[in-house]
Each structure stands twice: as structure tokens, then as C-alpha cells.
């Protein structure tokens, strides 16, 4: 798959930096150092708050001329354990408000998603109870490994 656009989800304020909900932004930072996409692929972070990510997706699609299936959205997924990730396409939002907003605004669910697991074993409650917590130092190393593995999976995809 040759992506024309890659959008990492998160929140813009400094207080959200290094929180679980901003893992999409962190992955975009990681991807900018890699050479896995073609030179004409635009790789960006959403420019608003998570729940309004659809506006960034619409803008990115207009700017790149991408079809929904040429868009990759990178985001946190509290239903996936820390240290895991999944690549999927044409699926429901699974309760993720940012993804739901993208689906509503672009009128399609037929885009690729890199869903990065953020649920630590000790977090058994609802996602909203921990997604805005700061990521622990030892977990940052786990995310580094996940990012590396995700890059390999994305490379294999196209």
C-alpha cells in the first residue's frame, strides 16, 4: 500500500505531552526519522484536540488528494495491551472518539489504522481513567520497541 497521507492523533497542549492519548503524535515523531514512505507522502500530527481529528483528516485529504484507503491514521487503543499494535482497515471506531470524528467527517471508514496498544496490565478501569496520565519511563522503552515493530509491518505492507 502506498500511503499519500499519514495522520498521528493526539492533543496539542504541552500538558498532554508523553501521555498515552498522545501516542499517535509520538509515533509521528518517530516516523519522521524513517524512510519507509515515498517522498510525496505527507506525515503530520492532527492540529486540534483528539475528539476533533476529523478536521485534520479532511484537510490532509484535500491537500494530498488521497482517497480514504490511501490514508493511515496512527492512534492509541486502550483495548490493546501495552507493547502490542494492530494494523487494520475498514473497521468501526471501537469507541475511539478521534477515529469516530474522522469517519464522520470524511464519510468513510475505509482508511488504514495503526492502533498502538496503551493499556498497562495494572490498568483495569475505563480508558478515560488513564489515557491522560504520563507514560512511565520504563514504558517509553516498550513503546520504542513497538514503534520499531510497527515500522517493519508498515514496510511489509507496501
Bridge partners (DSSP) listed for residue 133: none
Percent of the chain with pLDDT over 70: 99
pLDDT of residue 122: 86
Write out the CATH class of domain 5-157: alpha beta
DSSP result, 14-46? GGGTTBGGGHHHHHHHHHTT---S-TT-EEEE-
Least confident of 6-15, 60-69, 108-117, 120-129: 120-129
Mean pLDDT along residues 109-132:
91
Specify the pairing of strand 5-8 against strand 42-45.
parallel
- Is the pTM above the cut of 0.85? yes
Query: Is beta strand 112-119 parallel, antiparallel or unpaired with respect to 85-89?
Result: antiparallel
What does the pLDDT read at residue 156? Answer: 83
* pLDDT of 157 higher than 80: no
Residue 1 confidence class, pLDDT cut points 50, 70, 90 = low
Q: In the annotation, is 25 catalytic?
A: no
Active-site choice (21, 25, 75, 96): 21
Query: d(Cα 12, Cα 49) in Å, to the nearest integer?
Result: 6
- pLDDT score, position 158: 61
pLDDT of residue 35: 80
pLDDT tens sequence across 72-103:
999 999 999 999 999 999 999 999 999 999 99
pLDDT given at position 33: 78
Closest to 31 measured CA to CA, from 142, 141, 153? 153
Beta bridge mates, 71: 5
- The closest alpha carbon to 37, from 118, 114, 124, belongs to 114
More confident site: 84 or 123: 84
Provide the residue ranges of all domains of the chain, joining segments of one domain with +.
Answer: 5-157
Distances (CA, A) of 153 to 7, 56, 57, 98, 144: 17, 25, 23, 23, 14
Q: State the chain's mean pLDDT as an integer.
A: 94
Amino acid at each position: 500500500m502506498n500511503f499519500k497521507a499519514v495522520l498521528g492523533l493526539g492533543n496539542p497542549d504541552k500538558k498532554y505531552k508523553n501521555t498515552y492519548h498522545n501516542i499517535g503524535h509520538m509515533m509521528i515523531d518517530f516516523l519522521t526519522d524513517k524512510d519507509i514512505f515515498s517522498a510525496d507522502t505527507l506525515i503530520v500530527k492532527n492540529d486540534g484536540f483528539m475528539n476533533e481529528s476529523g478536521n485534520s483528516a479532511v484537510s490532509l485529504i484535500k491537500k494530498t488528494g488521497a482517497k480514504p484507503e490511501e490514508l493511515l491514521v496512527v492512534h492509541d487503543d486502550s483495548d490493546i495491551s501495552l507493547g502490542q499494535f494492530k494494523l487494520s482497515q475498514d473497521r468501526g471506531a471501537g469507541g475511539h472518539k478521534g477515529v469516530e470524528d474522522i469517519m464522520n467527517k470524511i464519510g468513510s471508514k475505509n482508511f488504514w489504522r495503526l492502533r498502538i496498544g496503551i493499556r498497562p496490565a495494572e490498568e483495569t478501569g475505563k480508558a478515560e481513567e488513564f489515557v491522560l496520565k504520563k507514560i512511565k519511563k520504563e514504558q517509553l522503552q516498550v513503546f520504542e520497541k513497538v514503534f520499531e515493530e510497527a515500522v517493519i509491518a508498515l514496510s511489509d505492507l507496501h
